[in-house]
Chain A
């Protein structure tokens, strides 16, 4: 009975070639390579190694540039699959051995995964592609003393600035949202936020 349906990795020819190259890699440089890939896993926009680094890395690992690309891709794929299924290190070890990766490399991968796996998964959880996300909240509190239509006021007035990160058009920063509140308006907002909080609490 084959375990292929439960396996984390489907052995395509390209994958097998990648495994072969990985097995041939020098064990000394392997941990650092892996760590870099793991730390960059959540960052889909940028590759783990930029162009300049790849140029230097190839000869250092005795790989041609296309072989290097394949090695990085294969390792990235392994890490992504581990993250997707939230694989425990022990199971990962078994899976890796099943696709014929040398046991010394398996050990390094599992050690790397134990160390960096959880933070990577947490970062991936937080990743969202909503167009506008709240980044930070700034405020200042004024005391309104008078305006052109009314003298002798004594009203506290708060201005909130909601800094928004724009995920839509990179490079076009979103304008912050400015809101003004007097005491009762702020109290209403607080009540609404409390309702939302109670919903969040009921989830956990």
Chain B
């Protein structure tokens, strides 16, 4: 009776087409070509603005045929490995999975170094950057003013706050906030923080899926 495996290959079934092609064509190529293309793939995936020109520069001297056979597969492997949470895909599991898809052992090293070495944080950062999101706050500058008098009143003595919000999408908003609205804002922020903390304490957070 064949055992039902607990573990599912991180690449999934069926294999992404690029990966099947990679495995089939790899015998024709030298390890150095493979290493270079792995480096290219890591560079392009860590780049916030990958362009065709950058790609052409990096792949100078490699035949188009080699690129076609190797590059898509390598990209798929990197992307799928990044997607799986770290605790589920440790280095030995990764290498076992590569063996399972019959990638020759000599070709494991460049991929392992890319995914479990220094380049990993850069890949993670870029994956985080590229996610779809609403603008986040990158800078908040503020000042507190006290209006001493205005055209209608000789003595006002009313504090107001002026804030400039700069978002990571480059928008800039300057708003005036009265004391009451500022308290509303502060209260809302505190309320949400409270909810977040409560949420993180709950049991689903303690269990790592």
Q: Which A residues are closer than 8 A to B by beta carbons?
A: 42, 80, 83-86, 121, 124-128, 130-137, 139, 141, 143, 147-152, 154, 156, 158-160, 162, 164, 177-181, 183, 185-187, 189-190, 192-193, 196-197, 199-200, 203
Contact = CB atoms under 8 A, between A and B. Distances in A.
Interface of B: 79, 82-85, 88, 127, 130-137, 140, 142, 144, 146-147, 150, 152-162, 165, 167, 173-179, 181-182, 184-186, 188-190, 192-193, 195-196, 199-200, 204-205, 209
Contacts of A197: 182, 186
Contact of B127 (A128, A137, A150): A150
The 10 closest A-B CB pairs, nearest first, are: A130-B176, A149-B127, A180-B134, A152-B85, A156-B196, A134-B177, A134-B181, A137-B188, A124-B152, A125-B158
A5 to B, nearest CB: 15
A200 B144 contact: yes
A118 B165 CA distance: 35
A159 to B, nearest CB: 6
A134 B189 contact: no
Nearest to B127: A149
Given A124-B152, A127-B150, A141-B192, A200 B182 contact: yes
Given A86-B155, A192-B142, 8 more contacts: A149-B83, A150-B82, A150-B127, A152-B85, A180-B133, A187-B193, A200-B161, A203-B146
Contacts of A177: 165, 173, 175
B82 A189 contact: no
A183 to B, nearest CB: 5
A186 B134 contact: no
B137 A181 contact: yes
A178 B134 contact: yes
Contacts of B190: 190
A180 B137 CA distance: 7
Contacts of B209: 152
B83 to A, nearest CB: 5
B16 to A, nearest CB: 14
Contacts of B204: 154
B196 A186 contact: yes
11 contacts: A125-B156, A128-B160, A134-B177, A134-B178, A134-B181, A148-B131, A149-B79, A160-B189, A160-B192, A185-B136, A186-B192
Contacts of A80: 152
A79 to B, nearest CB: 11
B175 A132 contact: yes
A180 B160 CA distance: 25
A139 to B, nearest CB: 6
A108 B205 CA distance: 68
B195 to A, nearest CB: 5
B141 to A, nearest CB: 9
B200 to A, nearest CB: 7
Nearest to A124: B152
A143 B146 CA distance: 40
Nearest to A160: B188
Contacts of A185: 136-137
A156 B153 CA distance: 47
A199 B173 CA distance: 22
Contact of B173 (A84, A149, A164): A164
